[in-house]
Amino acid sequence: MAEWLVEHGIGESRALLIDGSKVLAARLHWPGELAAGFVEDAVLVARSKGGARGRARFASGEEALVDRLPKDASEGATIRLEVTRPRMAEVGRQKLAQARPTDEPLRPAPNLEQQTGGKVVRHFPAGLWEEVWQAASQGTVDFAGGSLLFSVTPAMTLIDIDGEGSPRELALAAIPALANCLRQFDLGGSIGIDFPTISDKAGRKAVDEALSAALAEWPHERTAMNGFGFVQLVARLECPSLLHRFAQSRVATCARMALRSAELVEEPGALLLTVHPALKAKLKPGWLEELARRTGREVRIATDPALALEAGFAQAVPL
């Protein structure tokens, strides 16, 4: 039976929906960011003239776009808001979080246990988070006869399908892997899928039906495949996907993974964490203090510019 597990790491919390040894879905949260469901009194710092939209600043200093403003809400006033979507990083810019006025009581955003109904564990079963993380890092997932290539753009997440065989056979073979990745990467928003071009209507209909069946339990809206093999999905967007984290915060994402690898070291001795120099700059003092507290060890940091960002590693060394 599938079960959500939640792991609270350093600088992030992670959740996996696991069925036996298979990961069905994943979710990632970074604390300190405005998140969907968070309710707080914020200051309205700007408002469009004659409109119902504006911009508000929360106590953390982070700002959000606000819609549905009442007519009497003026700039400088305090207004209670509920965050409906977190900020999203894009190439060259940040899309602010979104919020709307509410009469709900003040509350934090639901944590991963509340979102998923999952059970908190010290660590996930070995290898499961690493498998999902590596796939998201590479942005490429292989399946029998082909591969999926994921690209995050300002407009949408694009998925290109490439491989061997007839266009219809390749498209049908890609669908199971595609359905898995949508859940494992926690994708939402606008998603474009570039299937091989299938010239006949019967072939396109077969792919549409297979895709519909594979995504039957994944809430979304979808267009039919057009004559060029393109399908667009739209799903609710509540947090940055794993792909978005890598696309816009790769160094920070890899720094958190390096800390996780250090937590998993079992041999006795001091912890030596070796990372690319760019990662060292992202390792906050508070995070390293937390690592020392959790492991009960002295923590040392070494840098190696020859290492890839994703290749940081930890080992036990003599005291």
pLDDT at 18: 97
- What is the spatial distance between Cα 155 and Cα 239, in angstroms, rounded to a whole number? 16
- What is the spatial distance between Cα 218 and Cα 129, in angstroms, rounded to a whole number? 21
Beta pairing partners, 42 = 79
List C-alpha distances in Å: 161 to 129, 144, 207, 221.
24, 12, 13, 20
- What is the spatial distance between Cα 315 and Cα 310, in angstroms, rounded to a whole number? 16
Average pLDDT over the chain, rounded to an integer:
94
pLDDT tens digit sequence for 176-205 = 999 999 999 999 999 999 999 999 999 999
- Reported in sequence order, the residue ranges of the chain that DSSP labels E, i.e. its strands, are 3-8, 13-19, 22-29, 39-47, 54-57, 63-66, 78-85, 88-90, 93-95, 97-101, 119-120, 140-143, 146-152, 157-163, 189-194, 221-222, 230-235, 270-275, 299-303, 313-317
Rounded mean pLDDT of 246-271? 95
pLDDT tens digit sequence for 30-48 = 998 899 999 999 999 999 8
pLDDT tens digit sequence for 85-101 = 888 866 556 789 999 99
User: What is the third-level CATH fold of 39-101?
Assistant: OB fold (Dihydrolipoamide Acetyltransferase, E2P) (2.40.50)
CATH classification for the domain delimited by 247-317, as one of 3.40.50, 3.30.2320, 1.10.3470, 3.30.43: 3.30.2320
- Is residue 206 within a helix (H) or strand (E), and if so which, with residue range? helix 201-214
The confidence band for 257, taking pLDDT boundaries of 50, 70 and 90, is very high
